[in-house]
Structure 1
Amino acid sequence: MTGDTTPIHGREPRPGGPEWIERYRGSLMNTFGDPQRVLVHGEGAQVWDADGNRYIDLLAGIAVNALGHAHPALVKAVSEQIATLGHISNFFTSPPQVELAEKLLALLGAEGKVFFANSGSEANEAALKATRRTGRTKLVVAEGSFHGRTMGALALTSKEAYRTPFEPLPGEVTWVPYGDADALRAAVDGETAAVVLEPIQGEAGVVVPPEGYLRAARDVTREHGALLWFDEVQTGVGRTGDWFAHTPSGVTPDLVTLAKGLGGGMPIGACIGVGDAGSLFGPGNHGTTFGGNPVATRAALAVIDTIERDDLLTAVDELHRLFVEEFSSIPGVVEVTGRGLLLGVVLERPVAADVMKAALDAGVIVNAPTPDRLRIAPPFVLTSQQARDAVAAIRSVLAEVLP
């Protein structure tokens, strides 16, 4: 795959990757380090870089591009909407904003209200502010969590390296081991505003909690009058084979936050308040200039409509089975975790970063969220042949990295 320099749809030659990276260093803040590649074009589950190399994308912009790259339905929706009405502020509403809120509530199967933002961090900021409207300030959060990089969302993110440079952070946070129902019960009391959980932890390496854990969280929050908040930013909108990762638990939370896959690449986030939690905010309590704009909400409607029309949740389940079977047969792979197309490939040694780099050189994009895990989160439109080709490339890489 790397080294395929076939012209891309007749595009004119352009500067190569090294030149772009030099320009990047000279003009962008060094918050991410050097880019791994300079990408210029995408189609389906493949992307090309500035040097003409082609890659199978098993990361989808970190679980964002549910429909892959340049999907006709998304292109059509965004193009039509921006040519009609792009931005109006939240002094006004638009049909796509209302329709999307209604659709999300219908998918959730609950009555409530929706606040639209521009990202996962912003959706979580909204939820965090909503918890303050309970009159309580204590939050119980799981170790290994990731909820964002803004100051409020960062206060709920457990990784010390992210948190320490910016302390003191807002809130009264009690940390508990993820998946430990007894620890959760011991931490929640009558002063707890909310319990904040990811139904599956993505940044921790795709960690799935034990059966009954989410139900235990619902029971203890109800007992003490606290809110139950599920962060579905990475897991929602079909990523796990269900519209929401918490659905199989049978639990109804009070707050749900979404982003990533919701817009298929367009920036949008949502905070859903279920039942009484939908009324925690009143006029002036929160706001956003761009959130819920016509283009982003129209894009999200196109994503949801396409998943439904093309039965992509079935495709997610089928690809899940293929990946689990293929990865489990590779020497050096200890376990495959996760559900749907959010998978963690657990390696017998902490060489995930080396595997990620070598896989990129071999034409496959994956991610190494922890030293011994690869994260697989491809577009739902990935073909079975592309999946097999990508796994074959990773198999060869592991044979070299793991002697």
Structure 2
Amino acid sequence: MDTSALLRLLRRLLADGGERGARTIVRFARHEDGRQFLAKLAARRTSGAALRAARPIRVIGGFSLPLPAASLIPLLDYGCVLEEDRSVQISRALPRPIVRADSKMDIPWGVRRIRAPQAWSRTTGQRVKVGVIDTGVDFGHPDLRHALSRGINLLQRASLPHDDNGHGTHIAGIISAANASRGMIGVAPRTEIHPVKAFDADGSAYVSDIILGIEWCVHHGIDIVNMSFGMPNRSEALLKAVESAHKAGVLIVASSGNDGRKGRIDYPAGFGRTVAVGALDRRGRVARFTNRSAAIDIYAPGAKVDSAWPNGRRRVMSGTSMATSHVTGAVALLLALRPGLSPGRIKDILRRSARPLGYDKAPPGSRGAGCSAHAGGCRRLVGRDIRDCGAQ
């Protein structure tokens, strides 16, 4: 491939401009072509303003452009693969959220249901690094200050990943909140949270930003990536990033979606390399709002979950987003005890150690999904019998 000719073409296309707001992800059919091109692009971006608009995405061997795919057809002659850089929304909360002030320290129902407290004498998630790709986090929240570590703001690289929405703070609280004097406690209170801000104040992100978030997590040695969001459309670029993370030993836990669909779930939960999570209500039944299918690996508490909210507050929210973070916390407890487990092994343990939902409680599309009537689905994984979960 003539990388110099491709760079000249790319510079011309960027100079011509295109439809405002349209974005495209560009990959290469041959991995070697992508590697060579990205090396050349890195050297040329510093000398030309136009090329700086092309953002390298090394985890997939490609880049993103602020141009519509229709204007990039000439790139196909160079072995490029084009994909619309779609907008993704964090899952909406159901029902309407209830805001509350901090109260006395307590253990939320979901944390109790998955029996996390029974595991804390042996593991609290210590030394496990969790990347939360979301809206950022409230760095000043008293329930989270102990857990927060280095992160990144993909929307404004010079700024900290502050949460201007609230969703990311809520997710982080479920995973690792801890406030002994006043506040709440999460599933794995000594887990390190690395906030990756890919979503804006409206809860919107581009697929390319999510992929860059995965790339950052892989590069910085993150153990688990929490993805409490989803989209109905399959993205081959996102799949490639998920597979790269899996190969690097990084587990991705993702939410199935809140549309109440049967037989189909959101992506990236729909990819085989992720842990796909559905939501349970307080009765231990599959929540009405959750998407469900045999592709779901596990169900966890997701209805009316109390957790941290910006400005030192708490909020009750429902959704598969909340269920996903319970599972992430449970995996952190396991990894702190057995740090050498691979993503595939962890997924197998989750499915085998979960208690199957009874057929009288399981809605169509849920049977045989390796579900759990107990939170996080892992009575043995995070309860008294943690030694029997198959991790030894």
TM-score strictly above 0.5: no
What's the TM-score once normalised by structure 2's chain length?
0.27
More helix by percentage: 1
Structure with the larger RCO, 1 or 2 (CA within 8 Å, 6+ apart)? 1
